[in-house]
Amino acid sequence: MRVSKTVAFSLAAIGIGVAVYGLAAFRVRGEAGGLSKSITPAYWMERATGRDLFDPDKRIWYKGVRERKEVCITFDDGPHPLSCKSILSTLKDKKVPATFFVVGKQVDANPDLVKMIVADGHEVGNHTYDHVRLSKLTREQVYDQINECDLAVERATGLKMTFFRPPGMQYTDTVLSVVHQKDKIMVHWVIGAKDFIGTVPSDELTSEQKKEAPITPDKVVEYVVKQLRPGAIILLHDNPVTATALPRLIDAVRQKGFEFKSCKDMMEELPQHVKIDPNPPAHGPDRVLASHN
């Protein structure tokens, strides 16, 4: 059976299209969260509208602009007296802005450290009061965890917090509804350094994480550099291992041609141009979230 030139041309065009689509999906599989997600039309629709970077309905920021070799650095779980001052000293020496997602009970125990974070010009975000997994709590408990952390930072600094990150990045629709009620933006992450392995209680680890060797400063640098990509949000933790790794980590990232930006600045560069005040005065005008196409 002979195939007409028109049919042959059409089949060839379809084959090329499928191949190009498959190659594009393969290249962005890490950004999409896996190859299976990257081949779905929904992912490409979100990418075309910028919702894969920031979803204004869920109020979740996932990553910065992929065309810019910029990253932002974030620290969870502090402030810790054994490491926070060292981290701040390195950031000041290297002229790097950062965002600290603080735990309320740590703030109450170390208010002077939070004041130092603010005095050095860094952003402060909410990481709950007790660092509990919110997905297992009632709505009232979720609200209390977020609100009590807000109050702890207000007592220490007189400032509010716009940014929020749930422990373990675990959240539900209930958590999202409280995020809306509290007028916050949830900040996701792209690069995880695994710098909590061996530094947090074992009951906070998954079964797979418990099998891994305790983290070292060398491994922290290796994990970050290996995952570097434009627009990435880097997740680190306020602990001595990370504090030791930080100077080399910053140098290694810059050697790859990347620039460090604050969360606020990277969000303003998004297609939606999201403009916020990360830490407005507690008794001043409410912060404004403005998205413009």
**Catalytic: 76?**
yes
Encode 25-71 in three state secondary structure: HHHCHHHHCCHHHHCCHHHHHHHHHCCCCEECCCCEECCCCCCCCEE
Q: Which one of the listed residues 52, 76, 150, 195 is annotated catalytic? A: 76
Contact 192, 32 (CB under 8 A): no
Closest residue by Cα to residue 90 from 245, 235, 239, 215: 245
Question: From CA 146, how far away is CA 131, in angstroms rounded?
Answer: 10
Question: From CA 237, how far away is CA 227, in angstroms rounded?
Answer: 17
Contact 139, 175 (CB under 8 A): no
Tokens of 135: 């997905």
**Catalytic: 237?**
yes
Q: Which one of the listed residues 131, 195, 237, 238 is annotated catalytic? A: 237
Q: Are strands 233-237 and 191-192 parallel, antiparallel or unpaired?
A: parallel
Active site residues: 76, 237
